[in-house]
Chains A and B, each alone.
Chain A
């Protein structure tokens, strides 16, 4: 009888523990889901912004009839791609063809893990921070290569090869720039990098201490995103649509998503590494003194942090969208020359200078 009761109690407590664990698991999933939702909304906004900005650059109107001001255009495109027929090439490698886009999407989504959107509002404040981003973002070209190879199409294959060559050669100057930044702030964690820029407001930004690094980072992040001066992998006039040629329906939608996610990630990283992250950044005036508000309101502070980060990121996005509709496309040899013969030595020199200055100041 007693044993029975004890057993029942242990079982009860065990099930309670299990329940607690499940609840805890759900709670820990919640921020991830929130971040995913936020990212999706931001991508929709970016797609709309790109179409409207490109329209106003070309003196057009842009999406008008899908929802108010064409705001629902991206949703309409996504739904249509979801309902469309999904064609698998009859001679292609079907498994690689399906895995390719998902690898690209997952690798980009994972790098949102280390981006701080507000004051300590980050999913995982890892001590290797930015290097995680660099490591993960180099998985994406494998997905693109898979997509290009498995389509059984010469344009796809050429596009896949170009994408791989481009992202491998521009990753190196990007990494050197990040190294120089991490030397300045003595840490690889993204939160510490933002904290290190918080001292003198606007003048404490890393962009003033690393102007060459900022330019190199800007160029190579454009190349990593395959945006227009460097959009050789999907050059419409030579390769029909590059590695996306054989993709239809939602798999093409995934590639479309990847390009905008990549853009969002790189502009957020520019904000974090060079533009002072979530700080209000007007020198000698704290944001809360400015509006005479109580600093104890934690939620308000967090919202303001997110708002400031996103504003800076969208400013950078505006620049890259304008660049897309201004500059012509480069040739393949010009692209590789720029990457290997210009950006790589310059970023190396920048790293050397930064290191020696740090040594002298120590």
Chain B
């Protein structure tokens, strides 16, 4: 028997009735209130914004746009993600509480789209940065296509098993980078030329260290290819 086709048979722990119904309850609640993060970097967001309005209305599926990542369950990466935007996208994703889902919306966030050949600044596919649940092609995709992606994500959530999620949750979380703030002497000393010529060795040390640490999580040579 092929285990890829029947992933449920591999599970031994979800046999009891109670855990199954709890699992179903949590899956149902998750899929029927997927709150998306208000995140848009370019033209795909225009299509996404029309979903908020009256013609396509994603409130029918229980989607309420939230502006704080702490309360969002879903991020639709609407629009081209540039190298400059990449660290903040990763940070926003990290700030969302588990369970969280990603829909890569539009060609730009799947492969880089029309920027994939000769751009020096585009990330070739948002899946190099964050794990993607549903790929939604189109340039930009129609609102109907977004609703299609949403129903596919809902289907995916409905087949989820809680234990799998908790296993993947146990990886190391990224906390806020510690900004090395320290008290300095007043700058109004009157000896400005000396300050310029002889920088104190301690500040030099720290600045180079933080520079090395504050690189984007994926090294830049990976992003180019």
- Which residues from chain A sit less than 8 Å from chain B, CB to CB? 51, 55, 58-66, 70, 72-73, 75-80, 83-87, 90-91, 236, 240-241, 244-249, 252
Contacts and interface: CB of A to CB of B under 8 A. Distances in A.
A246 B53 CA distance: 27
B36 to A, nearest CB: 13
A77 B33 contact: yes
Contacts of A241: 66-68, 71
Nearest to B30: A80
Contact of B176 (A60, A78, A79, A90): A90
Interface in B1-59: 25-26, 28-30, 32-33, 53-54, 57, 59
B98 A61 contact: no
Contacts of B62: 63, 65-66, 70, 73, 76-77
A245 B70 contact: yes
A59 B62 CA distance: 16
B70 to A, nearest CB: 4
- Most A CB contacts (10 A, CB to CB) among B67, B71, B169 go to B71
16 contacts: A55-B59, A58-B53, A58-B54, A62-B60, A63-B60, A66-B33, A76-B29, A76-B62, A77-B33, A78-B29, A79-B28, A80-B30, A80-B32, A90-B176, A246-B68, A246-B70
B97 interface: yes
A174 B71 CA distance: 33
B67 A236 contact: yes
B143 to A, nearest CB: 13
A70 B60 CA distance: 8
A247 B71 contact: yes
A66 B64 CA distance: 14
Interface string B97-123: 111000000000000000000000000
B57 A61 contact: yes
Given A63-B62, A249-B97, A73 B32 contact: yes
Nearest to A64: B60
A62 B59 contact: yes
Contacts of A248: 70-71, 97
Given A80-B33, A84-B99, A241-B66, A60 B57 contact: yes
Interface string B70-112: 1101000000000000000000000001110000000000000
Contacts of A62: 57, 59-60
Contact of A63 (B53, B59, B175): B59
B61 A65 contact: yes
B71 A76 contact: no
- Most A CB contacts (10 A, CB to CB) among B53, B60, B169, B175 go to B60
A246 B175 CA distance: 14
A289 to B, nearest CB: 46
Contacts of A240: 67-68
B45 to A, nearest CB: 16
Nearest to B38: A236
Given A76-B62, A244-B68, A65 B32 contact: yes
Given A76-B32, A87-B97, A61 B60 contact: yes
A51 to B, nearest CB: 7
A252 B71 contact: yes
Given A55-B57, A73-B62, A84-B99, A66 B32 contact: yes
B97 A83 contact: no
A84 B29 CA distance: 11
A58 B62 CA distance: 16
A236 B64 CA distance: 13
B182 to A, nearest CB: 17
Nearest to B63: A63
A76 B59 contact: no
Nearest to B65: A236
A347 B33 CA distance: 43
Nearest to B95: A87
Contacts of A58: 53-54
A86 B97 contact: yes
B50 to A, nearest CB: 12
Q: Which 5 pairs from chain A and chain B are nearest by CB? A: A79-B29, A85-B97, A64-B60, A248-B70, A66-B32
A73 B59 CA distance: 10
Given A70-B62, A79-B26, A80-B73, 13 more contacts: A55-B59, A62-B60, A63-B59, A63-B62, A79-B28, A83-B30, A85-B99, A90-B175, A90-B176, A241-B68, A244-B68, A249-B97, A252-B70
Contact of B54 (A59, A84, A236): A59
Contacts of A84: 73, 97-99
Given A65-B61, A245-B70, A85 B98 contact: yes
Contacts of A91: 176
Interface string B150-161: 000000000000
A346 to B, nearest CB: 36
A63 B53 CA distance: 14
Contacts of B67: 236, 240-241
B100 to A, nearest CB: 9
